[in-house]
Structure formats: structure tokens, C-alpha cells
Amino acid sequence: MARGRRRKLHLSKIYTFACGKPSVKDHDQIGQPGFSRVVFCNEPDHYEAKIRNYADNYVRTTKYTLASFLPKSLFEQFRRVANFFFLVTGILSFTDVAPYSAISAILPLTIVIAATMVKEGVEDWHRKQQDIEVNNRNVKVHNGDGTFHDTEWRNLKVGDIVRVEKDQFFPADILLLSSSYEDGACYVETMNLDGETNLKLKQALEATSSLSEDSDFQDFKAVIRCEDPNAHLYTFVGTMELEERHCPLNPQQLLLRDSKLRNTDYIYGAVIFTGHDTKVIQNSTDAPSKRSKVEKKMDKLIYLLFFVLFVISFIGSIIFGIITKDDLQNGRMKRWYLRPDDTTVFYDPKKAPIAAILHFLTAVMLYTYFIPISLYVSIEIVKVLQTIFINQDIHMYDEETDKPAHARTSNLNEELGQVDTILSDKTGTLTCNSMEFIKCSVAGTAYGRGITEVERAMAKRKGSPLANGVNSNDKAEDAKSGKSLVKGFNFKDERIMHGNWVNEPHADVIQGFLRLLAICHTAIPEVDEETGHVSYEAESPDEAAFVIAARELGFEFYKRTQTTISIHELDLVSGKKVERVYDLLNVLEFNSTRKRMSVIVRNQEGKLLLLCKGADSVMFERLDKNSLDFEEDTRNHVNQYADAGLRTLILAYRELDEGEYVEFNKKFIEAKSSVSADREALIDEVTERMERNLVLIGATAVEDKLQHGVPDCIDKLAQAGIKIWVLTGDKMETAINIGFACSLLRQGMKQIIISLETPDIKALEKVEDKDVVTKASKECVLQQITTGKTQVTGSSEAYALIIDGKSLAYALQDDVKNLFLELAIGCASVICCRSSPKQKALVTRMVKLGTGKTTLAIGDGANDVGMLQEADIGIGISGVEGMQAVMSSDVSIAQFQYLQRLLLVHGHWCYRRISTMICYFFYKNITFGFTLFLYEAHAAFSGQPAYNDWFMTFYNVFFTSLPPIALGVFDQDVSARFCLKFPLLYQEGVQNVLFNWRRILSWMFNGVYSAMIIFFFCIRALDSEAFNSAGKTVGREILGTTMYTCLVWVVNCQMALTINYFTLIHHIFIWGSIALWYLFLIAFGAMSPSISSTAYQVFVEALAPAPTFWFLILFVVISALVPFYAYSALQMRFYPMYHGMIQWLRLEGQTDDPEYCNMVRQRSIRPQTVGVSARRVAR
């Protein structure tokens, strides 16, 4: 069935990667191990295909299946040492050594494990829903009779012929057969694969490109032999056997799953790899497992409690064994009530060692209550709720992009409050990655009157009028528009705009400059049929800015075919707009090695032109030595633009003669036709010869603006004591000036610059071999680092360290990196320029391991993924460079400015809440466990618990579980406004003052003290005295219930004293837990004695009527809590911590008193040396 007229293309003459016909000799490995896949196109049910049993196209990302959920989830739960310990004690509870009933031991473990498994199940169910949505997407598949029908992705088989429409995702790895373009080309967006937003061009084989209709596939048969499934995204080797022809295949024919068809109406393709065999799924790896430092220390605390548990059990068992041995001496019984003359092995004096061993097991089981069984599940619940608050924070929602903050993991919430060093990308993170054409230099004349943010910052340093924003010609216009009227174009100069360039002295050069901007690119125009407006799809924001600038200045690129570029341009002679068509012969593409791109075109007069643009580092050396009329002026302008924080490119051209071009094109095609390992090197060698003796035209300058709020955000983070490093691929000059603009650098700050751009090294590079240059370079870097360290050591001045990529490679070597890190730590700011993605990750690892402090990396591009995964916390900016960084991050935000709220507010709150919550958990369990220990010691270590079995079971599950969760979710020491106003509060997390060993042990001591108060006061108050008016004395059931009631009151009231910010939920959970205990005691006591045992009617008949019970509770609670209250009050009054000082400010109404606030700020542990505030102080 016809689908409209096909577009005409002739790709074979253009793209360097699109046209070669690989020689069959390079595919000799087909059929060998690793290259054994055979695909029968249009015959998915071929008998041989069934024998090979290829994977189906159903993709599963869930962690569990219905069958594996129970065993796998249980295995995950019992990998935790605490859970495994409780499982062992639960099993032992079925034996006679257990001090309590089996069900009371198993039930709390069951509840905790079940709650965690439910959470795991819900999370996996969400993944299942996503899988269902993806697998049920529709695609058109060939029926076998020349027609196509819709089917779900999951039903596809290897060999199926599919038809994919524009803007649809590819359902599997597909071999491109043909497209809506005549030459079988198509455009593909690979953002989901590599994070790049630019379009890639794919090319079908010439043998199949004529299959343009649905009906053409009725009799189509072919056999593809290719490589086996693998994770290499950019390689593919195979051959197609079609009508007795063998056609070599390469990556240009492979369309990968999850990439999208763009700017192409439709394509036909054969399914090669399905489901988990596709390259994108083969590349799927689990993100590195990250755990917070608080959680790691919590594990150590658990191990400490295990040690304490075993020690006291061991000591108690020894004492028990000694006492048991002495129970029967010469027929006299000391503990006659145990009948040592006629007893079981547990109390037999003749078998005292065995009795001691059995008692050890009993004691271990009894003291399990030292270990907070519900701690892990409570923390998981709290962290999930905390991430919901982060995700719902309206102050971190970006309205322009409609993107909120998104915490992709809840494991690192408290880590956000302990960041010591931030390592940031520049482009797209500190800046917008939205380029604007703002200045240019043509024929040695500078054009463009716009003022960049960096220039304003520089003017501030020099006291120039520009610092006040004075630009009289544009001020009113800027005030009205607030931003550039045309996205990507912020150029203002009446000498060139509105066609006035024709009156300039070098009008012909300006014409060539604008024409080059309009022609030398790979952008794709899209014309709005209603308005006629032309927009562009470009490989990068820079390239889009160039074609937009050409359009706005009179050279409108509006149409591209694979052999021509059409432009509406202003004719220099007639002064009118004319349409000119240029034959596009070759595109010599940009890459990071070449640092330039060129096109070869033929104009309407028949002239052959090579148009080239590239970095100044590679372009100036390629200029014709006889055409350097304005090279010096252009160099000066480029340096000025770099100083202004602009990204620059040099533009040049050369006229070619016909013979020269024919010879080049022959060699070029030969180089492209190779699929050997040195193919790229062959192409570079050929193009190198052509891109010589160029005639300079001028230079462009585009601005990548700072994101809104970046300087203020950096200032707040610096006030918080956080160090900020910038890792960028930009030139040193650009990075330095961006540093000034965002206040990382300031006037008067001394700069330590480590660079290999020295005359000695350059001279060596020209004459010496590689080994000599390497040795000299390393010595040079080492000397510069040593000199810098000498400057920094003992100096009170602020230093900035700036290092380039070549030097960084040596600084990161094992024998140098420690010295380099010491220098960097001593500097206020660190900027690493020309850094590769690998270097970014290595620097991050060096800082993380070298300092032992929490590191945070933030970036927005695929080149930042290694850095984000290496850091303790990875923050992805959901910008314009795709979603790769976001998908690899722990938290994503829309703009850098939101980092201050994420860290200073949510990070501080989460750190404080989690730290206090963990300390409280250990406090309440030590209080409970130590009362058990004291009672057992009181009972001669007989293994008898003080409390009813079910009292012990429900202590962690019901009566003390909810208040710490409320604290972990809602507590605030100060409000968000004060967190931002006094960033020094964040230093509590940086110093870890809320979860250091001193604070942890003080909470533990508080637990021991509370347990002693509860036990000894209850014992002494109730021992050997009438308990009520009937003269009844106290038994174990009354003593145990009274102690337990005091315990519930004390630990819940302790929570009330700990909370800083009461909400209704706090009140309900704290007082509700106490009320729940009384309700439980009444209801449980009303049950049959066979169930309630020692608790039968104990409250109603014995405790409630006795005034002693109520007075004792009041006395015990006050006595247990007074020391904590007194200590907190004294500390708050005389030695307040940071949050305490801010609470005093708020209480006394002095939050707006500059003098008092400044006094509080001076308590900072780290003097502020960067940021806007430091700049003001330096004045």
C-alpha cells in the first residue's frame, strides 16, 4: 500500500559515515563463535529459527516474578544480620531454653519482615506496570501477504518485518531495509540510549532501499548472518544474503530499541535482536549500590549491641553456673524453691557447666530486645515519606520545564545533609546550555554590542560603569523584553543588522561569513506551512545558534536535500533577497579529535568551495601564510571573547580546483569504504590534506548564560561550609571568567594555575620523542603543585586552584594525586578545565577517598554519568542534554539553584531527623533491655523475664514504634526560611555533631540511667510492702506490669522532650501510644488466663485501684527525665548549638538584627572565601 511520495536522497555523496560499501573480507568472522546468529527475514516461523530458540520480545525489569518473590525476598531480608539473628532466636524459642513463648518471639519478626516484603512488592508492582505499558505498545508487522497489521511489541519475533512511523520508538533492534526517503535514509534520536539530543543519520543498503510499498514485502526473502547479542552500541557486523548476493552490514543499518524515528515518515525493517538480546537491555546494569555514612555507622552500632548482648549473657551464665553449683552443699539447699535435689538439667548443681551453657542460650534470647527489630523497617518508611516531601516541594518545581525535584532513591536522604564537597559540571549545570549568538569578528572588525554576564562581573571587579548595567542603547529594550526576542540570537549591532552590512568596508567578507554560517552545518530545517517560519533541528545548541544568526542577518537556510542546501540570501549587488542553491558534495564531520567541521560545496557559478569552522587551537595553524591580513586582530578579538566567557569558533574557507577535488573524493570514498579498525584514521588523513591553506574570514562568539540564581546559590552553599569544585571541558579562560561571574573567584583571590602550556614543554613537544615529553611534563606538573602547596601552607589568604586537562592527567597519577589533593583542599576554589568524562570521575573518586567526607557530583550530560555514579550523591540536572545524567542520578532537579534548598533545607532536616531517630531507637531498646538484665540479675540470673511475653512482643511493634516515625518525617529544629537565612546551620551535618560517638553513647547512657531509675524505684517502692488496702503484696505480675507501664511512659515522654516542632500527628502518636498501652492492658487482661497468663485482670483488679501505682508512675517519669531536661536546658542557655542559637534569635525577635545575626554567623567552622558575601567582605 502506497504511503505518499518518497523523498529523494543521494546519501552516497555526503556523510562520512553513511556511504561506504564495506568489503566482504572484513566480515570473514561471520559464522565463527560470537558471530553465529542467523535471521530469516519475513520468515519468523522458519523451522531453523525455531530450533535456535531466540528470546521473545517481552522485556522484564522487575526484580521478582510471582514464583520467585517469596524465596528471593525472604533471602534479601535475612541477609541482614539483625533479621537473621532474630530468625535463629525465633527457632530456638520452640525449645525448652526459651524464656518466652514461641509465638511471641516469631510474631514481631513476622510483622517486620512482612512489612518490608510488602514495600518491596509494591515497588516491584510499579515496575511491572511500566513493563506492561512498554510491552503492550503497538507496531505494524507484516502478515506475509503484502499487508501489515498492528500487534503488541511483546509478540514480535526475530525475522519479522515491521513498519515504524514517524516519532515512534523502535520496538527491537531492527535492520533498516528502506524508508520514506528514496535512498533509504532515516533520522534517529538516541536520547534514551546515550543522552544525546542530536539526530543520527542511518542508511539502508542499496539492495533493499527500493522496497517502498507494503506490497513489496509479499515475496521478500533474505537471510542475515551477524554477530551474537552483545552490549556494544556502536558496532555491528553482519551480511545479508539476498538473491544470491552477499551485502555487508555495518552499524549504519542497525536501528536500536528505544531510539526514536525522527524527521522521517516511516521505515521498514527486519527484526534482528529481541527482548533481552537487544543492545540497550544488554547495556542495562544496576546502579552502584550507595549507602549513607549514617546507615553504615548504624550497622556498627548494631554490631556493638550484639557484642554487649553476648558479653552480658556470658557473664550472667558464669554467675548462674557458680550459683547453681553452690545450690546443694552437703544436702543443704540454698535455693530450696528450685528443688536442686530433684530438678531438670537447667538447675542441676551436678551439671552446673551444662546448665550455664543452656542459660547462655536463654540469656541471648532474653536480651534480643537490646536489638531494635523494627529499626530498619521504620527507617525505610521514614525515608520513603521524606522523599515524597522532597518530590512535592513546590519551591523546587521549575514551571518553565514543568519538572519537579525527583528523589530517585531514598537511601541517601540524610547524606544530603552532610555534603562537604560539591563537584559540578559547568555547561548545562552552572550555565543554561542554551547558546546565544552575541558577538563576532569579521575581517578584523569586532561586531556585537551585547554585554555578557561575565563582562558585567568583570566590570564590577574593575569598578566600570557596566557594573551597574549601563548600556544606554539597549537598556530600555532589554527592560521591556526581559530576554532575547529570538531564542539563540542576542546580537545587537546596527552596522550589520537590517542589511546594513552591505555598507561596511569589507562587505564581501561579511557576505562570505554569513554564507558560511548558513551552509557549514548538519542542521535540519522545519518549515511551518502556515506561517512560513523556519526552525531548526541541530546537533548542538551552538550549531542552532549559528544558523539562527545567519537567518536573522539575512541568510536564511530553509531547505536541505542530501545533495543540496537552499538559502535565501541578500545579494550584494542588487540589494535584494535571492534564492541560491548550493550542491553539497561532502561533509567532513566534527569530532573531539579534529575539533572542526567542513563542507565542500559547488555554487551556482560552478566554483568549488571548502567551508570550515573550528576551534582556534586547530584553525590558526591551518591558515594560508599569504592570507593573514587580519589574523592578529582576530586573535585579539577571540581572546577578548574568551575573557568575556564566550565560546568561540574560527571561520575560514578555500577555493578548490576540479582536479584537486576529484583526487580527494576518490581517496575519501576509499577511506570511507573501509570497515577496518583504522577507518577513522584513514579518513582523518585524507581530510587533513584538504583543510590546509585556508583563508581567514572571522570568528563567532556565543554565550552560554549562567542559570538563574547560580551566584546566590553558590554563596549560600559557601556560607554553609561546602567546598565547590568545577570540572569542565571548556577552555581555561572561559572557565575562569565563568568562575568570576558566579562568584567562585573574586578580585584579590590569588590564583594557582597549573598548566603545560609553557614555552619549555611546547619546545620539547616539537623536537623530542613522546617518552621524554611525558617525563618532562610530569616533572613540570609536580613542580607547580609543590610550589603551590608551599604558597598555601600557613597562609591566611584565599587561593584558587586552576588546572587544565593535560596537567590533570599527571596530577591524578598514584604518586602525585595525594600531593595534588592536599593543595586542592587548601584552596578556596578548584577549577579543572579541559576535563574528559573519565577525568571527572577520577577526580571525584580522589576527593571521596582522599578526604573521607561526603561528596556530591552534579551534572546534566551523558559525559557526567561516571562522575555522578562515583560520588556519594549524584544530582542530575534535567536540562537540554538528554536524560542520561538524570537516569544515572540519585536525585534530579531542574536547575542548579534548587540545590541550596535540597541541601540546606531537606538535607539538614533529613540528617537531623534520621540521626535523632536512630539514637532514640537505641535509647528505648537499651532502656527496655537493661530493665530485663537488672531483673534477671535480681533473680540470680535465672533466665526469668520481668514482663509478660506479649508485653515484650508488642513493645517495639505498637507501644513505641509510631512516635519515632513521626519525628523522622515531621520534626523541624528551625523552619525552611531560617535554614536558608542561616546556612551555617548546615555545618551540624558536615561536622556530624548529631551522630558522632559522643552523642550516640550519651543516648545509650541515658537509656541505662532510665532503666536503673525504673527498675530500682519500682523494686524499692513495691518490695515487701502491702500494695493495696487488702494487704496484698506484690508478685512478679504486678511488678512487671508496673515497670512496663513506667517504661512506656518514660520512653514516650522522652520523645516529647526530644521533638522541636510539635504537630497534631506527634501528639496523636505519643499520647496515643500510651493510651493504647492501657487499652491493650484492659483488653488483654480480660482474656482467658490461658492466653493472658500473668496479665489476667492485673490492671483492673490490682493496679488501677492502687494509688501507689499512679504515684509511682509520676515519680519514676519525673526522676528519669529530669537529668535529660536539665542537661538540655543548660546547654541551650549557656552552650547552644547552631540550631539552638537560631531558636534563641527567633524567640527574642532578633532575626532581622544584622549585628546579632552576624555574630551568630561568625561561629562558622570554615571561613567563607567564595561567593557574593565573601566578595563584599573582601572590599
Which residues are designated catalytic? 425
The 3-class SS string of 911-933 reads HHHHHHHHHHHHHHHHHHHHHHH
Half-sphere exposure in the Cβ direction for 1013 (13 Å, CA): 24
- Alpha-carbon separation of residue 405 from 223, 295, 392, 892 (angstroms): 49, 24, 8, 6
689 and 709 Cβ atoms separated by less than 8 Å: no
β partners of residue 858: 424, 875
The Cα 378–Cα 968 span in angstroms is 9
Does residue 1079 sit in helix, strand or coil? helix
| E strands, 589-694, in order | 596-602, 608-614, 646-656
Sign of CA dihedral 1027, 1031, 1034, 1038: negative
703 and 490 Cβ atoms separated by less than 8 Å: yes
Cα–chain-centroid distance for residue 1154? Answer: 38
What letter does residue 15 receive in the DSSP assignment? B
367 and 309 Cβ atoms separated by less than 8 Å: yes
249 and 273 Cβ atoms separated by less than 8 Å: no
The Cα 272–Cα 122 span in angstroms is 35
Nearest to 19 by CA among 654, 555, 459, 679: 679
> Which residues are CB-contacts of 1083 (< 8 A; sequence separation ≥ 6)?
none
Indicate the pairing of strand 173-179 with strand 185-189.
unpaired
1036-1058 and 962-970 helices cross at what angle (nearest 10)? Answer: 0
The Cα 140–Cα 152 span in angstroms is 9
Cα–chain-centroid distance for residue 849? Answer: 19
The amino acid at residue 140 is: K
- Is 1078 buried (19+), middle (13-18) or exposed (0-12) by CB count in 10 A? middle
Does residue 291 sit in helix, strand or coil? coil
The Cα 745–Cα 735 span in angstroms is 10
| Rounded to 5°, angle at Cα 884 from 880 and 890 | 110
- Is 1111 buried (19+), middle (13-18) or exposed (0-12) by CB count in 10 A? exposed
The Cα 890–Cα 903 span in angstroms is 13
1163 and 983 Cβ atoms separated by less than 8 Å: no
1106 and 1027 Cβ atoms separated by less than 8 Å: yes
The 3-class SS string of 1101-1118 reads HHHCCCHHHHHHHHHHHH
The amino acid at residue 563 is: T
- Provide the grid cell at 377: 523497617
The 3-class SS string of 849-864 reads HHHCCEEEEEECCHHH
453 and 438 Cβ atoms separated by less than 8 Å: no
The Cα 35–Cα 30 span in angstroms is 5
- Provide the grid cell at 1157: 545575626
CB atoms within 10 A of CB 593: 10
The amino acid at residue 605 is: E
The amino acid at residue 486 is: V
Nearest to 799 by CA among 827, 775, 768: 827
Nearest to 61 by CA among 269, 255, 275: 275
